[in-house]
Amino acid sequence: MALEGKLVILREQKREDLQKLVDLRNDLETQAWSVSLPPDFTLEMYQKRYEKREFSFERQDGQFTILTKDTGEYAGLVSYTDLHPRFSATIGIIVDKKYWGGGVAYDAQEVLLKFLYEELGLRVVRLWTHSGNPRAVKLAQKSGFKVSLRMREAIWKNGQLLDNLNMDLLREEYYALHPELIDGLPEI
């Protein structure tokens, strides 16, 4: 099932997307940070992970390739993990530098959030980033996320200590930012 935004189309990740994802994950700028440096992700690693996925009606994650709507070009990946049905999930996004600053990341994030709140009925969506990634912090804030946890000086990157940030967006906050949508779930 493809999901459409103003600038992007999100579709399930396919085998032919994996090399582009490996390239993004091995780029220190696009991958944000890694617990193992230097990054050494390989196509074989991602192929094994891709092949291990099993069919399930109770999926705990979803990985969507970001395609530009106008050209159909690969722009990155947006995903959700740690799904707790009807309650929460954690999202992540990685976008090719070619598309930075053009609204692609924001549109992809908004399309995924709409899916998570409208279709999966989540109460809260979370993400992780760090204080040395102002693009990610600004992107999250633009969609309404707020810092809910700050682990001070928890990450070492580029020769400096950075704060690890957990940000979240509650269901009522999402719908307050999107008055064109009607929240069909009863309040708890």
| CATH of residue 103 | 3.40.630.30
- CA quadruple 95, 98, 101, 103: dihedral positive or negative? negative
Instruction: Confirm whether 182 is domain-assigned.
Output: no
pLDDT in tens, 3-40: 999 999 999 999 999 999 999 988 877 776 655 567 78
DSSP labels, 54-114: ---SS-S-EEEEEEETTT--EEEEEEEEEEETTTEEEEEEEE-GGGTTTTHHHHHHHHHHH
- Segment 144-169, tens digit of pLDDT: 999 999 999 998 887 889 999 999 99
User: Can you give the pLDDT at residue 35?
Assistant: 58
Q: Is residue 19 part of a domain?
A: yes
Residue 10 lies in a domain: yes
CB neighbourhood size of 60 (10 A): 12
Report the pLDDT value the prediction gives residue 176, as an integer from 0 to 100: 97
pLDDT digits (tens, 9 = 90+) for 102-134: 999 999 999 999 999 999 999 999 999 999 999
Q: Given pLDDT bands bounded at 50, 70 and 90, which one contains residue 42?
A: confident
Q: Is 186 within a domain?
A: no
Give residue 56's pLDDT.
66
The model's pLDDT over 51-80, given as tens digits with 9 standing for 90+, comes to 887 776 777 889 999 999 999 999 999 999
Residue 60 forms part of a structural domain: yes
- Residue 107: give the domain boundaries: 3-177
pLDDT for the residue 34: 59
Two tokens at 141?
């804030």
Residue 162, in any domain of the structure: yes
Number of domains in the chain: 1
What pLDDT sits at residue 10?
Answer: 98
CA gap 128, 104 in Å, rounded: 19
Q: Per the domain annotation, does 187 fall within a domain?
A: no
Using the structure block, give the residue that is written with the tokens 């032919």. 16
What pLDDT, on the 0 to 100 scale, is given for residue 41?
84
**What CA–CA distance (Å, rounded) separates 94 from 70?**
19
In this prediction, residue 46 carries a pLDDT of: 86
Cross-strand partners of 79? 63, 92
- 188 domain-assigned: no
